[in-house]
Amino acid sequence: MAEVYARYMIVTAYLRVYLPSVRVAGLPPHRGINARRGVQYDGDFMWTEPTADDAIYTEWNGLQFACPRNTRLRMLEGIVALSRTDWGSPLVADDERRASVVELDRLRRATKLGRSHILTNAWHIPLRWFSAFHPSEREIYNDSDVVSIRYRTNLGAAIDRVRWAENVLEAAGFAEEAIEHVRQLAAWLAEFTADCMLELDYGRVATLFPEADLVFDESALDVRNSLLALESGEFEDSSTHYERVVRRWSTLQAYTYSN
């Protein structure tokens, strides 16, 4: 695992909303991070990809979809969110914080695509992301000789599943903090129309697992079975399924928090 950490500064998983491609007319296709090699530095943050406005195109169920990257917008959202959670953070000066808020507002107003279509998470996948998918939607794919996993589903179905998960947790009396994370995910998804496609992509987070373990990764199934058991009042079974998926991701979560 140390070799992997050395090779990739930060490996990232993605939750992407893809629009029917006709609604993303004018954005060029994404050239990939290899289009500009090396890590870029903008004075505050490190980058491994260009910040140009472009889109990731893909085909699903016979239709073409596109996910606007809006990289600059997403970076500004991250700066603003960091400022709100840690106001005294030395990473962002007061004048930079104010400038980021102004620029973010301008970008959001400039285009109908001015919102984040991508959520990212370093080193692991938040378990709530799996609640949006049915286990049958799991795919194993190869990208540049890397084996990885993705789930794809209709956005309307994803919203229904996440809201169901929220209701199950509420009925079971879970802490508000845990429910709020699921509620926020449902609210973000609800910003988009039901004809979109939602994708959970392990990306290079998959490289942190031995390939044999990856092939048998059924995290969405474990999360779904835990929720189904919880809904039925079968708390022991629910705990068994939940503990299985937590064990799978606990080491990577610990690495996240240590950083």
Whether 85 maps to a domain, the answer reads no
Whether 255 maps to a domain, the answer reads no
DSSP for residue 225: H
Lowest mean pLDDT among 17-26, 87-96, 128-137, 141-150: 87-96
CB 114 within 8 A of CB 107: yes
- Residue 1 reports pLDDT greater than 80: no
Whether 81 maps to a domain, the answer reads no
3-state secondary structure of 117: coil
- Residue 154 reports pLDDT greater than 80: yes
Handedness of CA 232, 237, 239, 243 (dihedral sign): negative
Looking at the 3D structure of the chain, how many domains does it have?
A: 1
Task: Tell me the pLDDT band of 123, cut-offs 50, 70 and 90.
Answer: confident
Task: Tell me the pLDDT band of 104, cut-offs 50, 70 and 90.
Answer: low
What's the pTM value of the predicted model, to 2 decimals?
0.81
- Residue 244 reports pLDDT greater than 80: yes
Q: In angstroms, what CA-CA distances link 44 with 92, 96, 100, 200, 257?
A: 8, 10, 12, 29, 21
Cα–Cα dist 163/157, whole Å:
10
3-state secondary structure of 61: coil
Whether 234 maps to a domain, the answer reads no
Give the residue-averaged pLDDT of 168-179: 93
Whether 54 maps to a domain, the answer reads yes
The pLDDT of residue 3: 41
Burial code (b: 16+ CB inside 10 Å, e: under 16) for 16-54 equals bbbbebeebeebeebeeeeeeeeeeeeeeeeeebbbebb
Say which residue, 124 or 90, is predicted with more confidence: 124
- Residue 45 reports pLDDT greater than 60: no
Cα–Cα dist 129/132, whole Å:
6
- Which residue, 129, 109, 107, is CA-closest to 118? 129
Whether 52 maps to a domain, the answer reads yes
Q: Tell me the range of 86-95, 104-113, 162-171 where mean pLDDT is highest.
A: 162-171
Whether 89 maps to a domain, the answer reads no
- List all residues 6 or more positions away from 133 whose beta carbon is below 8 Å from its beta carbon: 151, 153, 158, 161, 198, 200, 220
Task: Tell me the pLDDT band of 130, cut-offs 50, 70 and 90.
Answer: very high
Give the residue-averaged pLDDT of 41-57: 65
**Mean pLDDT for the chain?**
82
Residues in the chain, total:
259
- Which residue, 21, 24, 28, is CA-closest to 53? 28
DSSP for residue 33: G
Q: Which single residue is written with the structure tokens 């808020």?
A: 101
What percent of the residues of the chain are helix, what percent strand, and what percent coil, each to the nearest 5?
50, 20, 30
Question: Can you give the residue range of the structural domain that contains 141?
Answer: 2-69+117-216
The pLDDT of residue 2: 36
Instruction: Give the pair of three-digit tokens for residue 139.
Output: 């795919």
Q: Tell me the range of 1-10, 18-27, 75-84, 211-220 where mean pLDDT is highest.
A: 211-220
Whether 18 maps to a domain, the answer reads yes
Lowest mean pLDDT among 53-57, 68-72, 99-103, 194-198: 99-103
CB 120 within 8 A of CB 47: no
The pLDDT of residue 75: 73
Q: Any alpha helices (H) in 86-201, and if so which ranges?
A: 94-110, 127-130, 155-171, 176-189
Task: Tell me the pLDDT band of 32, cut-offs 50, 70 and 90.
Answer: low
- List all residues 6 or more positions away from 90 whose beta carbon is below 8 Å from its beta carbon: none
Instruction: Give the pair of three-digit tokens for residue 93.
Output: 């000066």
Cα–Cα dist 244/256, whole Å:
19
